Amino acid sequence: MADKQFVKEIADINVDFPQWYTDVVLKTQLVDYGPIKGTMVIRPYGYAIWENIQRELDARFKATGHQNAYFPMLIPQSLLDKEAEHVDGFAPEVALVTVAGGEKLAEPCVVRPTSETIICSMYSKWINSYRDLPLKLNQWANVVRWEKTTRPFLRTSEFLWQEGHTVHATREESMAETLDMLQLYHDFARDILAMPTFIGQKSEKEKFAGAEATYGMEAMMLDGKSLQAGTTHHFGQKFAKAYDITFLDKDSKHKHVWQSSWGVSTRLIGAIIMAHGDQRGLVLPPKVAPIQAVVVPVAAHKPGVIEKATEVAAQLRQLGIRVELDTRDQSPGWKFNEWEMKGVPVRLEIGPRDIENGVSTYSRRDTCEKATLPLDNIAQSVANLLEEIQTNMYNKSLAFRDSHVKVAHNMDELQEALDSKCFAKVVWDQDADCEALLKEKLQATVRVMLDEPVFQDSCTICGNKSDKLVVALVARAY
């Protein structure tokens, strides 16, 4: 019955997943379309999720010795052109400022699609000695990439992200940074987003333009597709050579530096939605939920109800729980539906009977179970419940994922896996022709290479034997 009501508001998740996604992001007021095609307005409920992501990530960045800075958004066209692969990769989707202050500019400016070029030009000026290294900066910023096909959070012409850019004296250090940040993303997704991810190196084809190696974090969505949720790049000395970033080492020799970069974006909000949602709408992990618990008075006109509900909300707030007291002039049923659609982890009801019994009826969003909690010490009980929900959501996602990964020994098995909405582990000879075939025949891609022992002596895709065999994760992807 409650589910039926929602069918009216949002598409059936099992029938039309893309429409379900669109309905959910719009109707829960996470986001709206901006006036220019492909842009999004991040509404307060969506932005609060981003703020929680930022706070958690920023603390982890700082704890690992990174500092924030801010680099200009407008980059001279000529600066972008210095690294050949990089400009080839990004030129097709850049936005250009050609007129400013009423005059045509002598040289157009690129609105940053990413900031390697401008940051490297500054690093070249700032770095002189080994004493200046390592330099580990991050920026929180907007970027613009003119995309043909867009969807809120997943692919938009403008999005918000963080981009870390680090500089080191040796290859070992920059490589360690590249992998450490990949692990940091993985742990963050696990601990905060309740989202298990696969991490590993990307193929040559999927590499970031200008990088020596790219590593990715891939998350499984409920439709069995993969979402690239974060990447880290090892540049080796490629940008250092293009932008002339050198330092005087302890041995009195001038050397080029070694670099990494890494980023995650507002796309993570899309990942949360598609990894945890259900028929009723959003299911938000407590650690990123803008509202962790909502208190709904029932029979609010009865004496003592509003007072008790207010008192309970205050107790929760006191303990640091993000709580909302819903005293709006609407029926409890209407409110229950709305807060369920919005994915609030815990709903507390306070009515005359609850008060009489010294309890609050609660409903947890992850399982939709209802039960009661004693009013005595209720804040601590809710805090415990939130912990339990966070853990349960991760375990549920992990179980879902583990039951949706198949080992494919040949193309038939691979197709069968993908068609049954699973990821596939394959053995791959790292040949680009195999990737082309995957794309053409199965609309799938190699997401990452996994650090696992190969389970057969020939490539799952082409059947060839090779001394370059690796285990790769293949999936259809966003």
Residues touching a copy of itself, count (CB under 8 A): 57
What is the C-alpha to C-alpha distance for residues 17 and 62, in angstroms, rounded to an integer?
Answer: 38
Asked if 66 and 262 count as a contact pair (C-beta separation under 8 A), the reply is no
98 in contact with a copy of itself (CB under 8 A) = yes
What is the C-alpha to C-alpha distance for residues 458 and 405, in angstroms, rounded to an integer?
Answer: 20
What is the C-alpha to C-alpha distance for residues 292 and 15, in angstroms, rounded to an integer?
Answer: 29
Structure tokens at 340: 């369920």
Interacting residue with a copy of itself among 67, 331, 357, 464 (CB under 8 A): 67
Residues in region 29-48 near a copy of itself by CB under 8 A:
32, 34-36, 39-44, 47-48
* Closer residue to a copy of itself (CB): 165 or 476: 165
89 in contact with a copy of itself (CB under 8 A) = no
Alpha helices of 277-431 — where are they, by DSSP H?
Answer: 305-318, 332-341, 352-357, 378-402, 411-419
Q: How crowded is residue 129: how many other Cβ atoms within 10 Å of its Cβ?
A: 10
Name every residue whose Cβ is closer than 8 Å to that of residue 168 and which is 6 or more positions away in sequence.
133, 134, 174, 177, 257, 258, 259, 260
The minimum distance between CB 307 and a copy of itself, in angstroms, equals 22
* Closer residue to a copy of itself (CB): 69 or 319: 69
Asked if 287 and 53 count as a contact pair (C-beta separation under 8 A), the reply is no
What is the C-alpha to C-alpha distance for residues 473 and 219, in angstroms, rounded to an integer?
Answer: 11
The minimum distance between CB 131 and a copy of itself, in angstroms, equals 8
96 in contact with a copy of itself (CB under 8 A) = yes
The β-bridge relationship of strands 67-68 and 135-144 is: parallel
92 in contact with a copy of itself (CB under 8 A) = yes
Select the span of 81-89, 104-112, 319-327, 441-449 touching a copy of itself (CB under 8 A): 104-112
57 in contact with a copy of itself (CB under 8 A) = no
Select the span of 4-12, 95-103, 338-346, 383-391 touching a copy of itself (CB under 8 A): 95-103
N-terminal to C-terminal alpha carbon distance within the chain:
33
Structure tokens at 73: 């958004």
Asked if 31 and 284 count as a contact pair (C-beta separation under 8 A), the reply is no
* Closer residue to a copy of itself (CB): 98 or 377: 98
Interacting residue with a copy of itself among 5, 7, 14, 51 (CB under 8 A): 51
126 in contact with a copy of itself (CB under 8 A) = yes
The minimum distance between CB 404 and a copy of itself, in angstroms, equals 33
The minimum distance between CB 282 and a copy of itself, in angstroms, equals 18
* Closer residue to a copy of itself (CB): 80 or 305: 80
Residues in region 131-160 near a copy of itself by CB under 8 A:
131, 137, 141-142, 144, 146-148, 157-158, 160
What is the C-alpha to C-alpha distance for residues 159 and 152, in angstroms, rounded to an integer?
Answer: 9
* Residues making contact with a copy of itself (CB under 8 A): 32, 34-36, 39-44, 47-48, 50-51, 67-76, 79, 91-102, 108-109, 111, 118, 121-122, 125-126, 131, 137, 141-142, 144, 146-148, 157-158, 160, 328
